[in-house]
Amino acid sequence: MNSRRDFLQKLGGSALALHLASVNSWAAGKNEYNELYDGPVLRVAIMGLGGYGSRVAEAMQSCVKAKLVGVISGTPSKVKDWQSKYGILEKNCYNYENFDRIIENPDIDAVYVITPNALHHDHVIRVAKAGKHVICEKPMALNAREGQEMIDACRKANVKLLVGYRMHFEPKTLEIIKMRKNGDFGKITFFQGLCGFKIGDPKQWRLNKQMAGGGALMDIGIYAINGARYMVGEEPVWVTAQETKTDPVLFKEGVDETIQFQFGFPSGATASCLSTYNMNNLDRFFLNGDKGFAELQPSTGYGPIKGRTNKGELTQPVTTHQTVQMEEMAGIILEGTPPVVPVDGEEALKDLKIIDAIYLAVKTNKKITLNL
């Protein structure tokens, strides 16, 4: 966890020039971290070089507290491409068979696990045993049992476990949370979360029960689950749910197409949510109180997030979510800076318990009591 000065001194001349150009463009207004930084740097290896891994890598080029220094992939050609594109050293490149050797590499502080859901459990535990901090994409695991085992492994290894809840750092989202805490909406009575899109390639891992652990609920519905919790500001105490499946060929047994689910909260507030792989134009959060309301639409997409309340349009800056997430997570790991909304394994475990309960509610057609 070297300082930024140490990090730059290790770069070659051309790489240094490119890096400083990146910092200068940041300072010129591309993001909110607009001053030169001379503190500790979190050196990150990304595991899983697919579409989202690439998005994170690109976003990290604007970070000052977090730097991409390593890769873990089962595809040698991708490793070579990333080495060339991001200046990654050969000694910081691993595959899925040998990445346990990062325990011997002092130049990697943390690993961001961006692999299919079913692989998170094993990958996170192996990274923890190698003594590195872990950032894991959501959902953290296939179920709450796996999630607890991952938390226990990281605690035993004395490393941090964070989860990729990028919306926990999004400015308009945080403004609504602040207004709710300040009482601007009065007593919260209702939340609605709509999350969905028409899924494409039928051969992708997201439609494979063994790899994804489910369907739309695991992939996109988790935004509504988590959003209901941080928007309402309470933990749900019961859940009901109903599944609709119109295409059993595409959405095979155990892969949900559309699930509607409802929560009840201790205050009496309720939530009505929907996750789907068969409808577009669904990316909306709505929070209602007896004195006002808040709406985000789009609410969780990559941006720009747009929102309004009963007081008018939200005008907080548009950000690159993954850039801000990695900057803030570096602060959490290196400096112990607490986020407004938690992003640790315990936070993710609550979502997994709710997911388990939603699937049970679908199966039994019963109201399921939650104890988070």
pLDDT tens readout for residues 162-174: 999 999 999 999 9
Per residue in 2-25, is it b (16+ CB within 10 Å) or e — as a string?
A: bebeebbeeeeeeeeeebeeebee
* Contact present, 176 and 294 (Cβ < 8 Å): yes
Q: Any idea what the Cα angle at residue 327 is, between residues 84 and 304, rounded to 5°?
A: 90
Residues forming the active site:
138, 223
Domains annotated for the chain, with CATH where assigned, are: 4-166 (3.40.50.720), 167-319+345-369 (3.30.360.10)
Round to whole Å and give the CA distance between 60 and 31.
Answer: 12
* Predicted pLDDT of residue 31: 45
In the structure, what pLDDT confidence band is assigned to residue 99 with cuts at 50, 70 and 90?
very high
* Contact present, 11 and 4 (Cβ < 8 Å): no
* Predicted pLDDT of residue 25: 33
- Judged against a pLDDT cut of 50, whether residue 103 lies above it is answered with yes
pTM of the model: 0.91
In the structure, what pLDDT confidence band is assigned to residue 1 with cuts at 50, 70 and 90?
low
Identify the weakest region by mean pLDDT among 2-6, 216-220, 301-305, 320-324.
2-6
Contacts of 322 (CB under 8 A, 6+ apart): 55, 56, 59, 60, 166
pLDDT tens readout for residues 61-81: 999 999 999 999 999 999 999
In the structure, what pLDDT confidence band is assigned to residue 37 with cuts at 50, 70 and 90?
confident
Residues in the chain: 372
* Predicted pLDDT of residue 14: 35
- Judged against a pLDDT cut of 90, whether residue 191 lies above it is answered with yes
* Predicted pLDDT of residue 303: 81
pLDDT tens readout for residues 327-345: 999 999 999 999 999 999 9
* Strand runs labelled E in the chain: 42-47, 66-72, 93-94, 110-113, 133-136, 161-163, 188-196, 238-244, 258-264, 270-276, 282-289, 293-296, 307-309, 312-313, 368-369
- Judged against a pLDDT cut of 80, whether residue 57 lies above it is answered with yes
- Judged against a pLDDT cut of 60, whether residue 304 lies above it is answered with yes
- Mean pLDDT for the stretch of residues 37-50: 96
Share of the chain above pLDDT 70, in %: 91
- Mean pLDDT for the stretch of residues 184-195: 98
pLDDT tens readout for residues 118-157: 999 999 999 999 999 999 999 999 999 999 999 999 999 9
- Judged against a pLDDT cut of 60, whether residue 27 lies above it is answered with no
Q: Match 């941080």 to its residue by tokens.
A: 230
In the structure, what pLDDT confidence band is assigned to residue 13 with cuts at 50, 70 and 90?
very low
Q: What tokens were used for 294?
A: 């808040």
Contacts of 348 (CB under 8 A, 6+ apart): 136, 138, 139, 140, 141, 147, 163, 165
Q: Report CA-CA distances (Å) from 359 to 56, 220, 237.
A: 30, 15, 16
* Predicted pLDDT of residue 35: 61
* Predicted pLDDT of residue 32: 46
Q: What tokens were used for 244?
A: 């609709």
- Mean pLDDT of all residues in the chain? 92
pLDDT tens readout for residues 201-230: 999 999 999 999 999 999 999 999 999 999
* Predicted pLDDT of residue 234: 98
